[in-house]
Amino acid sequence: MHLPLALRVAGNWLATRTGWTMRRLDTLTAGDLRLSAAFDLSYRQLTPTAARLFRLLSLVDGPDVSAAGAAQLTGQSLFDAEDTLEELVETGLLGTDQDRYRLHDLLRLYARSRLHAEEPPGKSEAARAGLHRWLLETTVVAGRWYEPDHGTPSATWKGTVDLSTAEHARQWLQAEGDNWLAALRSAAAAGDHATVVEVAEALHWFSDQWIYWGHWPEVFATAAHCARALGDPLLEATHLNYHAWALLLCEGRHHDSLARAAQALTAAQRAADFPQQGWAHFYSAWTLSLLGDHAAATYHNRESARLFEAAGDLHGTLQAMWAVQATTCFSRAGTRNPSRSTCARSPSSTRSATASNRISPIALA
């Protein structure tokens, strides 16, 4: 039986089964051929270089990988990694979709068994660490395309992926989302707090481009935890504010967002930082307005405007002053969601190129 057909037969049978190990995989048959034997037959045909890459691909956290990611695992050049990946594709051990490569779940299980049997543990961990380091470094460069003070990568950056435009950066960040998120989790678990905070900060503006990804609350909550571990109340306040935004806009968790903004305010007060205090009040006001408590929202908006003005943040001040007018208008209209004709929206031009937090023209819509 050909390997792709064997995979389809076994894959269909396993569609509702989870938790399988290589030992149990040995019991599966496809026709008159034991499935592990079919894998062995193809695996033994590989060149040593391709066999090693096949084993190392089991370390990839996400469902697929690029040639650039594969090159990080093996230390090959990009072109050599592409040739090796194509060898795996031709052997039937690897699937491909445009420029992404994917191991079938059963083959991933088999590759992991070969990794444990043939690869020294230290080399496996070094390969995983190299991939994670590259993912996070590239994420920072790609994310900064969307930061007003950064944009295009510096002339000294020598990457293996094309980040020459903001669109290319967006495509890379989305294609590698599962992989760089896993790398971020690994960095947090290892206590690399500074890296986690740097990555989350670089992604702050990009998050507006991919609001409904589903993981921004985790990203910013993790960064807030790491900032706290670093003992930096200003960083903690900043990422608590980002988390409040994510909870509100990405998940609609109004009360959790309100609690997070209150924590951000406390941290910002410890840091004696007016801008982050202003943002904590701003996010509180946004949430309270959506909950229909316009009187409380007006208070927080006024506090926000006062703090932004004290910090010399003109754009933040204008945004908060507009929000005061909007909440007053909403309150008079007696509705949580007034129509466009009831109250004017904030103009998009009020988004600041110098503010450290996002300014949303839909904040009180």
pLDDT score for 330: 64
**Distances in Å between the alpha carbon of 200 and those of 34, 181, 356?**
47, 10, 13
Q: Tens digits of per-residue pLDDT, 108-155?
A: 999 999 999 999 989 999 999 999 999 999 999 999 999 988 888 888
358 has a pLDDT exceeding 70? no
Q: Tens digits of per-residue pLDDT, 235-290?
A: 999 999 999 999 999 999 999 999 999 999 999 999 999 999 999 999 999 999 99
> Model's pTM, two decimal places?
0.84
Coil, strand or helix: which one is 97?
Answer: strand
- Which residues sit opposite 29 in a β-bridge? 34
| Dihedral sign (CA 357, 358, 359, 365) | negative
Q: Tens digits of per-residue pLDDT, 173-228?
A: 999 999 999 999 999 999 999 999 999 999 999 999 999 999 999 999 999 999 99
Name the band, by pLDDT with cuts 50, 70 and 90, for residue 363: very low
Task: Tell which residue, 227, 122, 213, 148, has the closest CA to residue 176.
Answer: 213
In percent, how much of the chain has pLDDT > 70? 81
Q: Tens digits of per-residue pLDDT, 308-346?
A: 999 999 999 999 999 888 877 766 665 555 433 333 323
Given a contact cutoff of 8 angstroms between Cβ atoms, the answer to whether 48 and 168 are in contact is: no
